[in-house]
Amino acid sequence: MPGAPAGLAWDRTAAAVAAVSTLPAVAVTLGGDVHAGASFAVGVLPAALAGLAPRRRQRVRGALLSALAGVCILIDGVIAEAPVLAVAAIAALGVGTAWLAARSLFGMLAMTLALPMVGIGLSFDVSEAAGAAALITAGGLWAWLVSLAWPESEPTPRPARAPGTVPTLAYGVRLGAAGATAAAIGFVADLDHVGWAVAAALLVMRPAAEMQRLRSVGRLVSVFAGALAGVALVAWDPPSGVYAVAIAGAVAAAAGTHPSRWYVTAGFTTFLVFLIYLSADPDTAGERFGERVGETLLGVALAALFGMAGSRRPEPG
């Protein structure tokens, strides 16, 4: 397909901005607190994954996106106490963000990045959600300030969207239904992390069938690899400097490879999540591994049920 991204692409500027944005996380990690360092690194991810806009005035959208994600996490942390309301909210937001995504780049970022953060918020209680929201909002603000140090460049024309890739109202309904069903199953089954399956479903669904298949396989493989790498690093128990390099490298790699057609971002984010959980309690490695992989499988399966059955295939030629 003309204009399609490479299978594995590398944006060195985005990677460099992301690496510099992790300096607070690196400093905290070098101080011996891996849990806090990895948490700070996760805070800059939404802004880092948004990429570096050519004009400085446009770069604030990364901070705005992080603030939006933070608000979504906080709201879902509050309504998670009322499962019926939480399930309904996921369904409604799926429709709303798909409507926005068909009309603007910011809307597309809201659907593909901020909406899954809403699902992640279901895994937190109110205090945890407030802390995560503050961390991500602050991380986005810091990443925006870092981005201003990079020179402006000439904007490149955005490629036309391929047929079948523009979200429709029907797609929004199916997107919301997939996330809502994952949330409902999580609440009924009393899963420890309701948001993991929800986020997996929302992250892999796409209007085009081929892209959804690639993202589904990519997420499963990436989550498995990222979880395994996190478990291995914590089991090794290296010096703080090794953890700091690994955390900065994971954020830089996530941002640098984000334009890829293959979905590898989940490997780096899962790696960071496992450092957060296992650095405080390494004995839960097997339990966390099973939860993460199992709930990812659930989310991907629901995305296939609601997404691939009704997604549109690009027309030939």
Domain boundaries of the chain, sorted by first residue: 12-151+165-308
Q: Are 310 and 211 in contact (CB under 8 A)?
A: no
Q: What is the pLDDT of residues 55-88, one digit of tens each?
A: 999 999 889 888 888 888 888 888 888 999 999 9
- Report whether pLDDT(317) > 50: no
Q: What is the pLDDT of residues 87-143, one digit of tens each?
A: 999 999 999 999 999 988 888 888 987 888 888 888 888 898 899 889 999 999 999
- Report whether pLDDT(1) > 90: no
Q: What is the pLDDT of residues 235-288, one digit of tens each?
A: 999 999 999 999 999 999 999 999 898 999 999 999 999 999 998 889 999 999
- Paired residues of 312 in beta bridges: 208
How far apart CA 87 and CA 93 sit, in angstroms, is 10
How far apart CA 252 and CA 285 sit, in angstroms, is 25
Written as one string, the DSSP assignment of 165-229 is -S--HHHHHHHHHHHHHHHHHHHHHT-S-HHHHHHHHHHH--SBHHHHHHHHHHHHHHHHHHHHH
The confidence score (pLDDT) of residue 300 equals 95
pLDDT cut 90: percent of the chain above it:
65
Q: Which of 206-215, 219-228, 302-311 has the highest mean pLDDT?
A: 219-228
pLDDT band at 314 (very low <50, low <70, confident <90, very high): very low
CA distances from 285 to 38, 120, 147, 227, 264 (A): 16, 20, 36, 9, 22
Distance in angstroms between the alpha carbons of the first and the last residue of the chain? 9
The confidence score (pLDDT) of residue 68 equals 83
Neighbours of 213 (CB within 10 A): 16
- Paired residues of 208 in beta bridges: 312
pTM for this structure?
Answer: 0.88
pLDDT band at 5 (very low <50, low <70, confident <90, very high): low
Q: What is the DSSP letter of 312?
A: B
